[in-house]
Each structure stands twice: as C-alpha cells, then as structure tokens.
Structure 1
Amino acid sequence: MSDGSKVPVIGTHNGHFHADEALAVFLLRLLPEYRHASLVRTRDPDLLKTCTIVVDVGGVHDDSLRRYDHHQREFVATFPGKQTKLSSAGLVWMHYGRDIIHAYTGLDGADRDLLYVKIYEDFVEAFDGNDNGIAVYDPTELRKASIEKKFNDKGFTIASIVNRYNYAPSACEGADGPTVNGTTTSGAPVPQSGKSQDEEDSRFLRASAFVGEQFELELEDRANSWLPARAIVKQAFTERTQYDPKGRIMVIPYRPEGVPWADHLHAIESEMQSSGQVLYALFAENDQPGCKWRIRAVSLEPGSFENRKGLPEAWRGVRDEELSKVSGVAGCVFVHASGFIGGNGTFEGALEMAKKAVDM
C-alpha cells in the first residue's frame, strides 16, 4: 500500500477459475497488509495496473512489482530444492509463506522455516503440480510397467472440488454476494459463461474459502501437533535400543493431542543415516493405568500403505484368545487383516508381540 488510507486491491483473472489462484488469494488475506483487501477479477491490463498485487494473470513474475503469474513462456521458477514448476499458489507461498506462518502462528526462526518447507511439500506443491499438468508419476513409465488404476479418483482432489464451483447450478444459492470481506468486483460485463460477474465472483469466493479452510486445518495441525512431536519422536528414537538391541522397536509416549510420529521418524532416520531400522512403533491408546497398547508397522515411506515388515501373516485377521494362542503372547486383542497394526491389553504384551514379529 502506497497510501496508508487506501484499501489494497488483489487482482486475479475472471472467467473459469482454478484451485491455485483460489488458494493464492486466501493466503494473501492471511497477511496483515491484505487482510481487508478488495478483490478485482479481470483480464483488462489497464485495470490490473491499478491493483496493489496481482496473481495468476498478467504475464509477469516480479516480486518487486508484486506480480505473480506463471503462464508466460519463459517462466521456470520452482520452490527451493524442488522441481515442480510453481503456480500462483506456489509463488505466493514462496515469497510470503514465512510471513504467513508468523502472522498465523507467531512462530519464527527454525520452527517457522521447518513449517515453511513442510507446508509446501505436503499441501501447496500439489496445487502447483495440478495447475501445471504435472503428474505425481510419469505416465509414460507407468504404461511401460503396465500399471493401471484400480479405480478412478478424479473426483477426490481439492482441485476437482474447486472446479465444481464453476459449474454446480446451486453453488451460490443463498451465498453472500461478492462484497464479503470487503471484496469488490470489476464491474465487467456478463462473461461468456453466461453467469454475471457478481455470480462468478461469488463462486470464486466460495472456492477460495473452501481451499482456505483446508490450508488452515493443515497449518494448525502442523504447528500445534506435528511440530512439537519432532522432539518427542527424536527422544523415542534415541531410546529404542533398550527395547531391541538392533533398534527395530520404538515406543512413542502418549500425549492427549496425539503424536504424529511417522513423518518425523523417516526424517530423523535420514539425518542419523540409519534409514529402515525401525520396524514397529508401540503407543498407548490413552493415559489411563492398564490401558491397551497398539503395535504399528512402519511404512516404507511417509503416507505409503506398504510396510517395512507387516505383522506375521499367521496373526492377521485373528483376535483375542485365538490370537494369543497363535502368537504365543498373552493378552492379544487383534491384528488387522492387512498386518499393519495390532493390539494387546498391556505394554508388556505389545512389546512381546513386537519382539517376536521382528524375527519372523
């Protein structure tokens, strides 16, 4: 803002919208200077010149001018250390992500920087890949390997949900108009879609609020649960040899807010150059005396459904006394049919299950 009394204006294109600019606009409004900014959706270059900041339109990426488009032929920018070409969401995050984290959480320093990278990897990068037509896996290589989809997941992405806001007949019924949060529209004529500019802008705001809610959930979880868990998991990792001489069993202490340990374990193993050593993690169901304990197989990589070593085949899908007989461990409760998790009535029982499983 060049004038302290002037309301800043965020500019983006009108017409069909995508998830990346919906997120980009929401992210900007998390910053104090754009919290009450108005929004102009247009492709008119003269009108865009009047905007304080512009995303996803205009053919310019220049941080000094606050212009963040990625559609120009020469654009090749990526997030530091990554290969995925940025969209408007990634551009805003790259330039303003640290400030957004600080404004939202108050974090600074190493914790903020850790979240800055984590949020990009786990949330924003998918917006960049989707908008730039970059698949998670090379489709040519998948075809060479004769790998086919087991089902169609097209409707199960944030991008596909945002796209519905462009078309759904009842998407804007009962919605507030485009003056929500101080937003104004360009006053442009009715677009070719047949919807008025006001209706189109209202749909965009709903889509932006949707992706924004997902972002806030992600950031709050990472800041309040994932980040504090790192120190807990690192301590558990250093103590693992007291349960197994080879360090294949790790015990996670109970916390009411939960301990998201899997991501941290993979990262800590990499840092300590001991990748793949931990096979099972044990954790209590609650903090009550005599509570049940779980045994969880460690995945091959974060988010994978494949495990380094699933629980023994003979235990899978078996419960209670029958499981105790099959396993030779008293107090067994269950083992999932896929072998990724099991339970016992005591810590000692769960630990005995783990000790038997590592060598079977």
Structure 2
Amino acid sequence: MAEQAAKRVKTDSGVVIGTHNGHFHADEALAVYMLRKYIPTYSTAKLVRTRDPKLLDECDIVVDVGGEYDASKNRFDHHQRTFTTTFPNRETKLSSAGLVYMHFGKQIIAQRLAQPEESDQVGLVWRKIYESFIEALDAHDNGISAYDAAALEAAGLKKKFSDGGFTLGAMVGRLNPNWNDVRPTDPVEAQAFEDTRFELASQRIGEEFDRDLDYFTSAWLPAREVVAEAFNARKEYDPEGRIIVFKSQSAPWKDHLYTLEELEGEGSTKPLYVLYPENPAPDAKWRIQCVPVSKDSFTSRKPLPEAWRGFRDEELDGISGIPGGVFVHASGFIGGNKTFEGAIAMAKKALQI
C-alpha cells in the first residue's frame, strides 16, 4: 500500500532526493539533511521515500536504498554484499551518512570556513567531524559495537548501570511511529504521515550536526593555534615540559594536545598538568588540571597528591605548604589557587610527590 502511495508522487517538478520508505534510521535522516541544508543543488529538492526502482531511477540523488554505490551517478547505498567502503584511515564501514559526508563534507566545511576544499584546515575539520560524530552513525547502522563483545565477555566486564541507550541512532529511532499508533488507512495519507515523522527526525539529527559543525569550525579549530603556542612554550615552566600554561584564557585543549604529542613522536616527555585562569579578568583565580591518559578517560597521568585531595582554602594551604589554595578535587584530577604563582607552585610541587 505504501509503495502505491509513493508511485503517486510527482517526480518531474525539479530536483529530487530519493530514500527508502518504512522504518527510518539516523543515517539517511542525516544524509538528506546535509544535502538539503548545505549543498545548493539540493536546497529546494523534493524528497521521495520509496523502494520502487523505477521511481528511484528518476531521482537526482539516492541515499540508503537502491543497492548501488556510484558517486558519479549520485547513488549512495551501502547495503549490497560487495560494499566495504570506509572513510580514509578509518575501519568502520560507511552508512549513507558516511557516504554523503565523505563526498560532500569538504564542500560543507569549505563554505563555512571560506577556504578551498584542498586546504589543510578544511581537511582537519573534515576528519574530526567524521571521527567525533558521523562514524558513530555508520557503526550503529552497520551493527558495529564500540567494543569487542568477545573481549568484554572474556574480561568479565559488565555495565554497572543502564545509560538509557540514548545514542544518536536511538534519538532518531524513537521518532518512528509506535507499532500501535493510529495511522491513516488511505495509502497516500499513510505515506504522508510516515514522511512527516521522517522530516522531524531529519531536522532533529541535523540540528546536532549543525552544532558539531559550528563548534569545530568556530571554537575547536581556532583553539589549535592557542594550544600549539602553549605546548611549544611548556619548557618555560618545567625543563622537561610537563607543565602547560594558557596565559590569558583556556581553550579546548585535549584533542589538540594529543595530536601535538603524536606529531612530536615517541620519546618526548608528556605534559602532566595544564594551568589556566578561570576567566580573562586580571585578578582571576587559576586552575591546575591533570592531563588524562586519553581524551575521554577519568584517569589522570599523574593526579594531584593524595594528601591534598578533598581539602579547601586555609586547610589546603596548611597541608600543601602553598598559600592561596582554593580546592583540590577528591579524585585529584583538578585543583585551584587564587593566583598564577600559587597554581604553578602547586604544579611543580606535585611533580615531586
């Protein structure tokens, strides 16, 4: 019945994007959004959701259906048995979101940065957004877990609690109609009902993509220069370069720090503490934060001394022997002092303990 409804959609009134009807997923919802929002050719495109090969043949671009991947023909399906394409230097098999992003992502980012697609900065953001956002959708749609299930079982690792299952894929999936929702009996109305839910899902996942695009182009990328400057000056505070100082204002530093470390190569001493003012004001208090073993880890390379943890103000001063103490977190991953001089003294003393 739904296919009959799809056949009654006119496809000769302009540019048309095709995808499948029925239960929708995050990958095609985002693929459609990226094309419409950021690629001028498809900004006013009509969307046809169908599995009818004849209707799909009439579409200008087809995503997540059709059994064909051929960028020269604007066909971006990933369900065929022979499909093994991945994003450059990644191992996760692509979904329709990854395919569209791989082919159109640089154009999207170049427009935002007003730079050529071949520029280093466009390439840097293109790779970063894939790794931080798109790849999770590719994995979800292809049934790829973030962890090896057999290795987890062998290690006896189990979740301590439910995290609610709120992934990007789940966020879109819950916008599908429920099994017992009342639906129109007319095929055309039933397809329109389903399409309305898809449009809502496409907009919702698209908003999250927009936020990532905004962040990585307007905040994350400019931070790279700030972090590189502090990284290169780190031996000013410790001969071995274990302390990094952001002199005027902090910036998102973890991603860039690990990248800079990789570029420097093995054998160099890794930073252990990062110091920064709480705000740009001249009298701002200072923070000392421990570098984690990895970006998303709660384990520090070298936590602040155990004897300092959980103490504040004058009590912390007495224990540490450093005036101006504000606090040290109970886990030892961060602390604070009223002045830069106090914060740097805490970092240097912590190195020795």
* TM-score (normalizing by structure 1): 0.89
Percentage of identical aligned residues = 53
- Residue in structure 2 matched with residue 308 of structure 1 by the alignment: 301
- Residue in structure 2 matched with residue 31 of structure 1 by the alignment: 39
Deviation at residue 301 of structure 1 after TM alignment:
1.2
- Residue in structure 1 matched with residue 248 of structure 2 by the alignment: 254
Rounded Cα–Cα distance in structure 2 between residues aligned with 1:281 and 1:83:
33
The structure-2 alpha-carbon separation of the partners of 1:21 and 1:309, relative to structure 1 and needing over 3 Å to count, comes to same
Deviation at residue 312 of structure 1 after TM alignment:
1.4
Kindly indicate whether the alpha-carbon contact (under 8 Å) linking 2:18 and 2:62 is maintained by their aligned counterparts in 1: yes
Describe how 1:116-155 pairs up with structure 2 within 5 A.
Answer: 116-155=126-165
Deviation at residue 320 of structure 1 after TM alignment:
1.0
The Cα offsets for residues 169-209 of structure 1, whole Å up to 9 and x where unpaired, read as 999xxxxxxxxxxxxxxxxx979999811111111111111
Rounded Cα–Cα distance in structure 2 between residues aligned with 1:269 and 1:251:
16
Query: Which letter does structure 1 place at the counterpart of 2:334?
Result: I
Kindly indicate whether the alpha-carbon contact (under 8 Å) linking 2:240 and 2:269 is maintained by their aligned counterparts in 1: no
Query: Which letter does structure 1 place at the counterpart of 2:23?
Result: H
Q: Identify which of 22, 28, 46 aligns with 1:21.
A: 28
Kindly indicate whether the alpha-carbon contact (under 8 Å) linking 1:285 and 1:292 is maintained by their aligned counterparts in 2: yes
Kindly indicate whether the alpha-carbon contact (under 8 Å) linking 2:304 and 2:334 is maintained by their aligned counterparts in 1: yes
Q: Identify which of 223, 229, 233 aligns with 1:229.
A: 223
Query: Which letter does structure 2 place at the counterpart of 1:304?
Result: S
Kindly indicate whether the alpha-carbon contact (under 8 Å) linking 1:9 and 1:39 is maintained by their aligned counterparts in 2: yes
* SS at structure 2 position matched to 1:151: coil
Deviation at residue 253 of structure 1 after TM alignment:
3.3
Rounded Cα–Cα distance in structure 2 between residues aligned with 1:201 and 1:245:
62
* SS at structure 2 position matched to 1:166: coil
The Cα offsets for residues 270-324 of structure 1, whole Å up to 9 and x where unpaired, read as 1011566100000111111221001111111122222111111122221111111
- Residue in structure 2 matched with residue 177 of structure 1 by the alignment: none
Rounded Cα–Cα distance in structure 2 between residues aligned with 1:152 and 1:206:
27
Describe how 1:156-305 pairs up with structure 2 within 5 A.
Answer: 156-167=166-177, 196-255=190-249, 259-273=251-265, 277-305=270-298
Q: Number of aligned pairs?
A: 338
Deviation at residue 119 of structure 1 after TM alignment:
0.6
Query: Which letter does structure 1 place at the counterpart of 2:336?
Result: G
* SS at structure 2 position matched to 1:111: helix
- Residue in structure 2 matched with residue 40 of structure 1 by the alignment: 48
Deviation at residue 7 of structure 1 after TM alignment:
2.4
- Residue in structure 2 matched with residue 181 of structure 1 by the alignment: none
Query: Which letter does structure 1 place at the counterpart of 2:67?
Result: G
Rounded Cα–Cα distance in structure 1 between residues aligned with 2:71 and 2:240:
51
Q: What is the RMSD of the two structures over their aligned residues, measured on CA atoms?
A: 2.4
Rounded Cα–Cα distance in structure 1 between residues aligned with 2:42 and 2:159:
43
Query: Which letter does structure 2 place at the counterpart of 1:202?
Result: T
Deviation at residue 154 of structure 1 after TM alignment:
4.3
Deviation at residue 163 of structure 1 after TM alignment:
0.8
Kindly indicate whether the alpha-carbon contact (under 8 Å) linking 2:26 and 2:173 is maintained by their aligned counterparts in 1: yes
The structure-2 alpha-carbon separation of the partners of 1:193 and 1:321, relative to structure 1 and needing over 3 Å to count, comes to farther
Kindly indicate whether the alpha-carbon contact (under 8 Å) linking 2:177 and 2:197 is maintained by their aligned counterparts in 1: no
Structure 1: state its 5+ residue gaps: 172-188
* SS at structure 2 position matched to 1:296: strand
Rounded Cα–Cα distance in structure 2 between residues aligned with 1:208 and 1:221:
20
Kindly indicate whether the alpha-carbon contact (under 8 Å) linking 1:191 and 1:197 is maintained by their aligned counterparts in 2: no
* SS at structure 2 position matched to 1:130: helix
Deviation at residue 347 of structure 1 after TM alignment:
0.5
Kindly indicate whether the alpha-carbon contact (under 8 Å) linking 2:308 and 2:316 is maintained by their aligned counterparts in 1: yes
Rounded Cα–Cα distance in structure 2 between residues aligned with 1:21 and 1:340:
40
Do structure 1's residue 72 and structure 2's residue 59 form an aligned pair?
no
Rounded Cα–Cα distance in structure 1 between residues aligned with 2:261 and 2:131:
19
Query: Which letter does structure 2 place at the counterpart of 1:141?
Result: A
Kindly indicate whether the alpha-carbon contact (under 8 Å) linking 2:273 and 2:289 is maintained by their aligned counterparts in 1: yes
Kindly indicate whether the alpha-carbon contact (under 8 Å) linking 1:15 and 1:191 is maintained by their aligned counterparts in 2: no
Query: Which letter does structure 2 place at the counterpart of 1:200?
Result: E
Deviation at residue 239 of structure 1 after TM alignment:
0.7
* TM-score (normalizing by structure 2): 0.91
Deviation at residue 48 of structure 1 after TM alignment:
0.7
Rounded Cα–Cα distance in structure 1 between residues aligned with 2:110 and 2:214:
12
